[in-house]
Structure formats: C-alpha cells, structure tokens
Amino acid sequence: MAEPDRISHEQAVELLPWLANDTLDADEVDAVKQHASSCVVCRHELAQLEALARSLEPSSGSLRTPLPDMRNINARIDEFIEQKGRTRKQLSKLRDWFDNSWRLAFITQSVIMVALVGGWLLTRPPEPSFSTLSTPQPLPNGHYLRVVFEPNLDASGLSELLQRNHLSIVQGPSERGVYTLRFDASLSPADREQITDGLTRNVDVLFAQPIASGAER
C-alpha cells in the first residue's frame, strides 16, 4: 500500500474541519490522519471540531418535517407560465402579421424609404451662410443714424454728403435701401442733433432718424 503524502501542520489544520464532517478525499484523510497521529495540537483541535460538527448536525428528526406549503411558489409559477404564454401569443401574432407577403413588402419599402431620406438628410451639405452689409449685425458703442437716400443720388454725391456731415457707412443698404451711418466720435450731442435736422431737410435724403447706441439694427 502506498505511503500517504506528507502534509505540513498548517495544511493539516486547514483540512481538519472537513475531516470532522467526513468529506475529505481518501488521500487527504490518510495524510491528515497520519499527521494527527503524531501531533497533539491537531488531535485536540479535531476533537473540538467533531464536537462542533455533532452540535450543528441536523438531527434526523429535524429533517422529517411536515410537507412544506407550496401554495405561494405554485402561484408564482402559474403567473410566470401565464405571462410567458401571453408574451408568446403576442410574438406569434406579430409573426403572423409579418407572414403576409404584401405587408412584408410594404414594410420593407417603407424602411428603405425612411433609410434613404434619413441618409440624404444626414449627408446633405450644410446651407452656405453669407454675410453682407445688409445682414443685421450688432453695433459697437457709438452714435448712429438710419438713413434712406434719394435713389438718384450718385456715389460722388453720397460721398460728399457723408464727408460734410462727419458720417460714415457702417451697414447697408438693406433690402429697403436703409443705411446705418455712424457719427464721428468727436461730435457733441448738439452737433449730432444739428446734422440730423439738416439731413431731414436735405432733398437727397428721404428719411433720417437717430438710433440708440449699441443697439442692433
């Protein structure tokens, strides 16, 4: 007969609880028993563990309990089966619906259409954006006028009028021919009022009105 493998004291101590509950493999039993035969500590420990095992082991009487009440678990299982049945029925209805070849063709066509339109929308290049003098822009701090000139006023006349009144074009003309003009920063409020009055009386100007500083057009 082969000699059992020798094990260390620590290994034996670790395995003792399962020697006490009789679940070790045969070779482990031999090895632990061989160690215990020459180790007082392990023999003492094993005796304690066997006592512990006896205390916790369920008595045969306790295992012969009355039949457990299965009403709750049966109700849960019934509900589970019913729910599964409902899901299966719904799936089967859905499958039947798809089984119709005309419906299937219609759905396939719709899906393809949606995919194509979606794809086109996603891959379409973005709208180009333009910025012109007529595009509304926020105005920096300053003093401004909205002016509509006589359509027959030529470029040199316009330039001369602006120069004379210490004005410069910052925006415009808009679709309706409105220009936004800025007063020279050196002008006093009285000068600006006088220039505005002059412009409203000028035959080359159809409309002139001051606007609040920093406002958007």
Partner 1 sequence: MTRHECPEDGLRDRKIDERALIAAISRRDRRAFTVLYRHYHPRLNGYLRRMLANAAIADEVYDDVMFVVWQDAGKYRGDAAVSSWIFGIAYRKALSALRREGRHQAPVDRNTDTNLLPASAPGDNELLNAGLAALSPDHRQVVELTYFCGFSYKEIAEIADCPVNTVKTRMFHARRRLKYLLPRLAGDCKEKRHGRA
Q: How far is the CB of 66 from partner 1 (least distance, A)?
A: 9
DSSP for residue 203: T
Whose Cβ is closer to partner 1: residue 14's or residue 193's? 14
Q: How far is the CB of 44 from partner 1 (least distance, A)?
A: 12
Which among 56, 58, 44 has a CA at the least distance from the CA of 16? 44
Residues of the shown chain interacting with partner 1 in the complex, contacts defined by CB under 8 A: 13-15, 17-18, 20-24, 49, 52-53, 55-58, 62-65, 67-68, 70, 72-73, 76-77, 80-81
Other Cβ atoms closer than 10 A to 30: 17
Whose Cβ is closer to partner 1: residue 32's or residue 147's? 32
Task: Name the phi and psi angles at 209, rounded to 5.
Answer: -150, 130
Whose Cβ is closer to partner 1: residue 65's or residue 152's? 65
Q: Would you state the structure tokens that stand for residue 31, as one six-digit string?
A: 């090895």
Judge residue 35's burial from the number of C-beta atoms within 10 Å of its C-beta, 0-12 exposed, 13-18 middle, 19 or more buried. buried
Whose Cβ is closer to partner 1: residue 62's or residue 131's? 62
Which among 168, 116, 108, 164 has a CA at the least distance from the CA of 142? 168
Q: How far is the CB of 48 from partner 1 (least distance, A)?
A: 8
Q: How far is the CB of 73 from partner 1 (least distance, A)?
A: 5
